[in-house]
A and B are shown apart, each in its own frame.
Chain A
Amino acid sequence: MALFLRQEDPRKRRAYLRLFVVLLALGLIEMAAGVATAGHLFRGATGTLISVATYAVIFALGLSVYLANRPRDRRTVRGILVFVVLALLWIGAVIVFPRYVITIIAIGLGLPLLIWLFLRRAKSG
């Protein structure tokens, strides 16, 4: 069972389920349109637009989860600012750099960074 479905709070569970449905619908639309246009959708300006839309949806999901789990204090506001700045920087990079560069950076750097941050969080308890 997915972690988000094991959430005890029914409101959070519903919210996470909604996120899943939105993300799945986005992916299916993207995939179907990619098939229908023989890959046209993923190329050129349309491809960049689709990339930006995908990242925007996922960042919005992340921010909503973040807000749902944080008290309304100054640290949360600072966290939101950090998140929004990083998200905007990344969306800018998606627009400027070619797709393969973005994918290499995202997976090549994002994955180790995420692992490192998780380890640091685990150590700090």
Chain B
Amino acid sequence: MGRASARPTTHFPLPRPDGILPPVKRSPLSAMTSTSSETTTLTYDGYTIDADMANDYAELYDTNGNLIAQFSWGVDSAGELTATGVGPSQSATVTMPTASAAAAAGSVRVGNSAASLNNANSSFTVSSNGQDVMDETVGSDGTATMSPLTYALSPLTFRTHVNPGGGGGGGPRPLTGVRPMSVSGSCASAFLAALAMMTLVAYALVDLVVVSCGGGPEEAPICAAAGILAGAMYQQAAQSLAQMVSGACEQ
């Protein structure tokens, strides 16, 4: 999955003797390439980050496999770095000046998740609920390392390369908010099982409402309590079954 044991040869320009990186039109954040694969998955404390470094794109999933946020970043022909974050109900964009502007920094926050860009130390960090779950830094030797901060996994090493920049093709790609999934046997069977379960739950809850709300002199509080209970159970069932089907269809 893109983990490398040895650091590869880099195309990243080495720092000058004064420690300052040469002002070339590049961004270590915009064009990271895995040494063994262009797509990699990091896990940290149940969180999962699917990073497609060749396309400058990462997805952050929570412990239940729910997509929390999508981040993309890119450099335009002028060398300006733009990062975009998209969440369930929010989206945000941050733009940084050219990579040579050493003090440039910015962050994109989507709900409780954020992607921070800091060109001063060439880092890109994804955090959730204030907890860093992924970062990428470019070391003085020019190699970029991306790792989950708990070091539960071996740090992943990526080779940087100069972003060609021209042609205006470096901007963030459009985000659809829908994760592509393949349909397999387990996916179809999970969907059928979910349909059956949903039917049974609806069946039982209509019974509950009918029994609670029909007959007897003082049913109003019982009827309301049954409605509350039925609503909570029904929604929880729909959510759990949707997660079950999503999980089966992603495999």
Contacts and interface: CB of A to CB of B under 8 A. Distances in A.
A111 B229 contact: yes
Contact of B235 (A30, A83, A121): A30
A23 B230 CA distance: 11
Interface string B214-238: 1111111111111111111111111
A64 to B, nearest CB: 8
A24 B235 contact: no
A86 B224 contact: yes
Contacts of B191: 35
B172 interface: no
B212 interface: yes
Nearest to B203: A2
Given A4-B206, A27-B237, A28-B198, A35 B249 contact: yes
Nearest to B68: A43
Interface residues of A, number: 62
A44 interface: yes
B142 to A, nearest CB: 37
Contacts of A46: 88-89
Interface string A81-123: 0110011001000000000001100110011011001100100
Given A51-B235, A82-B224, A34 B207 contact: no
B211 to A, nearest CB: 6
Contacts of B216: 121
Contact of A38 (B90, B179, B204): B179
B210 interface: yes
Contacts of A27: 198, 201-202, 234, 237-238
Interface string A31-74: 11111111111111111001100110011011101101100000
Given A16-B206, A19-B206, A66-B220, A36 B178 contact: yes
B111 interface: yes
B93 to A, nearest CB: 18
A25 B17 CA distance: 69
Given A62-B224, A114-B222, A39 B66 contact: yes
A47 B87 CA distance: 13
Contact of B203 (A20, A47, A107, A110): A20
Given A31-B198, A50-B235, A102-B232, A37 B178 contact: yes
Contacts of A11: none
Interface in A1-33: 2-4, 7, 16, 19-20, 23-24, 27-28, 30-33
Interface stretch (B97-105, B159-167, B239-247): B239-247
A113 B195 contact: no
Contacts of B207: 2-4
A114 B219 CA distance: 11
Given A38-B66, A58-B234, A66-B213, A117 B89 contact: no
B205 interface: yes
B228 A110 contact: yes
Closest 4 CB pairs of A and B: A34-B242, A106-B232, A44-B89, A79-B220
18 contacts: A2-B203, A3-B207, A24-B202, A28-B198, A30-B238, A31-B238, A34-B242, A34-B243, A39-B64, A40-B177, A43-B89, A51-B231, A59-B231, A61-B206, A62-B230, A75-B217, A121-B216, A121-B218
